[in-house]
């Protein structure tokens, strides 16, 4: 999902935003002949993500800069671990520093939070998946980070799958059709076979939705008791997704009800940036 082309384009835009007319601090204070080596160091434990993105922040700033990744996306690390090493012209290293850190901190934060959720549901069949609650323009980056943390991706965009939520159903049935008929007629118009998911917020809606032949049913903001009842009612006739009210405190109990998928918007909209630093370890700046 996260392609080399996307990385190059987005990192270039980030660098242009951060230094639209150059880095006047580095260019005025640091000799152009100076070289530096810097280490990407973990200040806290976590799961790494965004290695290629971190590297691109420097290589697009100055192609002479070399980046050695010492961990792979999905690897766990401890405080003090060196995650990557950057070496080359000091001006470029200093110019690319903030953008490289922004991506690595953000993506590793998402990966770390996702890994925590995944650990909470260990021993159940539930998969932790993300949602479309992503930063505009950065969805591929953030969803790559979810996979780095052991999670799964939901549909990438509105173009990927049919997912009817409460507002869709309200409009669909406004003409007086029952939910089953309305869904069947809508599905029949699809130009090709595609996965269809429908959201329900009450147990009494389940049978009417299942009768339309949908592939996934989302039980939205159900209590634990209602989730257990819903799982028994569906009885394998569709994939069951639980959504709403999911937190690190509740996700284990939700998974124990027998649902197949748990979607967690917090993976991308509430993950905090991880504390990573770029420490200059060797510099020839003073000797230049």
Per-residue pLDDT of the chain (288 residues), as tens digits, is 899 999 999 999 999 999 999 999 999 999 999 999 999 999 999 999 999 999 999 999 999 999 999 999 999 999 999 999 999 999 999 999 999 999 999 999 999 999 999 999 999 999 999 999 999 999 999 999 999 999 999 988 988 888 999 889 888 888 888 999 989 988 888 877 678 999 999 999 999 999 999 999 999 999 999 999 999 999 999 999 999 989 999 999 999 999 999 999 999 999 999 999 999 987 775 444
- CATH 3.20.20.70 boundaries in the chain: 121-269
Q: Is 244 annotated as a binding residue?
A: yes
What is the C-alpha separation between 36 and 281, in angstroms, rounded?
A: 8
Active site residues: 98, 133, 165, 199, 220
Q: Span 4-118+272-287: which CATH code?
A: 3.90.1170.20
- CATH class belonging to 121-269: alpha beta
Q: Is 265 annotated as a binding residue?
A: yes
Kindly report the pTM of this predicted structure: 0.94
Which residue in the block uniquely carries the two structure tokens 């697009």? 60
- Spatial CA neighbour of 144 closest among 111, 116, 182: 111
Using alpha carbons only, give the angle 66, 72, 76 rounded to the nearest 5 degrees. 130
Where in the chain is CATH 3.90.1170.20?
Answer: 4-118+272-287
Hey, what are 283's tokens?
């510099």
245 annotated as ligand-binding? yes
Q: Output b/e per residue, 199-228; b: 16+ Cβ within 10 A.
A: bbbeeebbebbbebebebbbbbebeeebbe
């Amino acid at each position: 999902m996260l392609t080399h082309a996307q990385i190059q384009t987005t990192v270039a835009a980030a660098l242009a935003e951060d230094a639209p007319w150059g880095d006047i601090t580095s260019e005025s204070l640091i000799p152009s002949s100076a070289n530096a080596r810097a280490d990407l160091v973990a200040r806290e434990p976590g799961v790494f993500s965004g290695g290629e993105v971190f590297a691109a922040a420097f290589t697009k700033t100055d192609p002479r800069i070399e980046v050695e990744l010492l961990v792979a996306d999905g690897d766990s690390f401890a405080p003090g671990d060196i995650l990557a090493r950057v070496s080359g012209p000091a001006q470029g290293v200093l110019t690319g520093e903030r953008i490289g850190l922004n991506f690595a901190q953000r993506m590793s934060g998402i990966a770390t939070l996702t890994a925590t959720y995944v650990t909470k549901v260990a021993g159940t069949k539930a998969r932790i998946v993300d949602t479309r609650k992503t930063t505009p323009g950065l969805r591929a980056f953030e969803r790559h980070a979810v996979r780095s943390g052991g999670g799964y991706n939901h549909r990438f965009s509105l173009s990927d799958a049919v997912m009817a939520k409460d507002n869709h159903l309200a409009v669909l049935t406004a003409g007086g059709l029952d939910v089953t008929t309305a869904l069947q007629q809508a599905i029949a118009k699809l130009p090709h076979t595609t996965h269809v998911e429908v959201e329900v917020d009450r147990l009494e809606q389940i049978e009417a939705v299942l009768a339309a032949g949908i592939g996934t049913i989302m039980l939205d903001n159900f209590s634990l008791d209602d989730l257990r009842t819903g799982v028994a009612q569906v009885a394998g006739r569709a994939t069951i997704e639980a959504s709403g009210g999911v937190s690190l405190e509740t996700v284990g109990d939700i998974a124990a009800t027998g649902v197949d998928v748990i979607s967690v918007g917090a993976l991308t909209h509430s993950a905090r940036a991880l504390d990573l630093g770029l420490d200059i370890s060797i510099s020839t700046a003073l000797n230049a």
